[in-house]
Each structure stands twice: as structure tokens, then as C-alpha cells.
Amino acid sequence: MSDTAIDRSRLTVSDEVAIQILGMNKWYGAFHVLRDINLTINKGERIVVCGPSGSGKSTLIRCINRLEEHQSGKIIVDGIELTNDLKHIDQVRSEVGMVFQHFNLFPHLTILENCTLAPIWVRKVPRKEAVETAMYYLEKVKIPEQANKYPGQLSGGQQQRVAIARSLCMRPNIMLFDEPTSALDPEMIKEVLDTMIQLAEEGMTMICVTHEMGFARQVANRVIFMDQGQVVEQNEPEAFFNNPRSDRTKLFLSQILGH
């Protein structure tokens, strides 16, 4: 859990819409994994998604950059609706960064190459400029000195910070995090959370699946609780943690905070 002081007054939410999900449903085969999801997320919001294992949290955020396809309803990201149109998908993907539980760095490329690959090949940024951007973000996540190493030579926490830097190099408007700290040892969790807090302070729109309730209290402006593929409850963090309304939420909170 992070104890870095954060100035909440600096966290502002605009009233422009970043992501809109309307009546969205998804099935894996016959299994109805997401049921009638309706969500509107404004620019600058920091959303924490929590819920029991298998409730569909990962699936939900993976639908937002079309790593998973939804079967009905609408997902509109930055004004672009996600359909089968590959152009729209690529457009959305280059504006939405994603950080995975297991980092998913490219092991055959150096840290620097990991960070410059997509800007050079997708955004067509000149190599020199891409390297400058990469070094800027690597400094931001506090590991510029590792730039020429390979991912296998870094600790888990360092790898996850590289993964964040790699996403940021595409200059995304929205960042998705799928349990970014749950594969990490406790002493490395803080360094990753600090990086995320820093991002939040800079006004990044963030959706974060996490079990770090300290982070949720501190950074989130909204907590979404999911169970069985549905959004069961959403509220501001204080209200959410202090007086949860649904029984499922109460049970969940007592399980993860109780012991």
C-alpha cells in the first residue's frame, strides 16, 4: 500500500466523456460473462474496479481496447465506436494504453527498444525522437539507467514500471491497468503504485483493476464493484468503503479488509 502523500485537490475531472459503454453484453461461448454493462467515464477520472475472482473485471477492461470482442451494446472510446472496423480498432488501441498483470514486455528487445517499438512502427515517429520520448518516460518511472538491459535482467517492479513507460510512449489519453501489482513482491508494489499516483496527478484517465484498497481510497474518484459479470455498486471511495450498500459488496469488503 502506498503512503505517498497525494494532493487530491490537484485531481480534476473534466465533464468531457472519455469512454461510454451502453448496454454491453459479452459471452464466452455460452457463458454470459458481462451482462448489460452501462458506464460513462469522463476525462481525468480514476476508476478502480474490484470484485471477486471471475467476476469479469479483466474482461471488461479488455473490451475497452478490443482485446476481447463484445457481442451486443456499444463501446465508444474518445468518440470512436468499437466495431469490426480494423481502422477504428487500431485508432483506439493507439490512444488507450494497457498495463498487464504479467508485464508482457518483449523479452527479445532491450528496455529502450520495448519503449520505442510502437511509436516508431505505429505512430511513425522518427527514431531519434522516439528514443528521446522513451528516455523521458523511463526517467519518469525512475529507471533510465536500465535502458539498455533486457527485461529478463530487471526485477518485477522495474519491469512493470517499464511496461507503464512503454504504454506512455504512445502518448495515450486513457490508461487501463489489469492488476498491475498482483504479481509483485510487497516491497515492489509501492514503486509501481507511486508511478501510477504520479500519472493520476497529471490528469490521466485511468481504469484500474486492483485489490490495493489503499490505492483506491487515495487516488480513485470512483470505485466500481463487479460480481457475476454485472456492475453491482459504484460510489466515491469513502462512501464505498465506509458504508457499502449491497450485501455482496459488504461480504466482499469484509473478506478482503477483514483479516
Ligand X SMILES: Nc1ncnc2c1ncn2[C@@H]1O[C@H](COP(=O)(O)OP(=O)(O)OP(=O)(O)O)[C@@H](O)[C@H]1O
**How many whole angstroms separate alpha carbon 150 and alpha carbon 114?**
9
Strand order in the sheet with 96-99: 96-99, 174-178, 205-209, 46-50, 222-227, 230-235
| Contact letters for other proteins, residues 121-140 (x by CB under 8 A) | xx------------------
CB nearer Mg ion, residue 58 or residue 195: 58
Q: Are 44 and 207 spatial neighbours (Cβ–Cβ below 8 Å)?
A: no
Residue 129: DSSP 8-state:
H
Q: Which of residues 139-178 bind other proteins (CB under 8 A)?
A: 150, 152-153, 166-167, 170
Min CB(128)–ligand X separation in Å: 40
Q: Which stretch binds ligand X (CB under 6 A): 28-36, 104-112, 151-159, 215-223?
A: 28-36
Q: State which amino acid sits at residue 173.
A: N
User: Can you tell me which of 55, 146, 181, 210 binds ligand X, judged by CB under 6 A?
Assistant: 55
C-alpha cell at 242: 465506509
C-alpha cell at 132: 528521446
The listed partner (ligand X, Mg ion, other proteins, none) that binds 28, CB under 5 to 8 Å by sort, is: ligand X
Min CB(166)–ligand X separation in Å: 22
Q: Which of residues 190-209 bind other proteins (CB under 8 A)?
A: none
User: Can you tell me which of 2, 20, 58, 158 binds ligand X, judged by CB under 6 A?
Assistant: 58
Min CB(233)–other proteins separation in Å: 28
* Secondary structure class of 21 (helix, strand, coil): strand
Decide: is 59 part of the binding site for Mg ion (CB under 5 A): no
Closest residue by Cα to residue 77 from 57, 98, 58, 56 = 98
CB nearer other proteins, residue 121 or residue 239: 121
**How many whole angstroms separate alpha carbon 126 and alpha carbon 65?**
26
Q: Which stretch binds Mg ion (CB under 5 A): 3-11, 54-62, 186-194, 245-253?
A: 54-62
Q: State which amino acid sits at residue 200.
A: A
Decide: is 90 part of the binding site for other proteins (CB under 8 A): yes
Residue 9: DSSP 8-state:
G
Q: Exposure of 80 by Cβ count < 10 A (0-12 exposed, 13-18 middle, 19+ buried)?
A: middle
Closest residue by Cα to residue 162 from 147, 177, 174, 184 = 147
Q: Tell me which residues touch other proteins (CB under 8 A).
A: 65, 67, 86, 90, 93-94, 96-98, 100, 102, 104-108, 117-118, 121-122, 150, 152-153, 166-167, 170
Q: Tell me which residues touch Mg ion (CB under 5 A).
A: 58
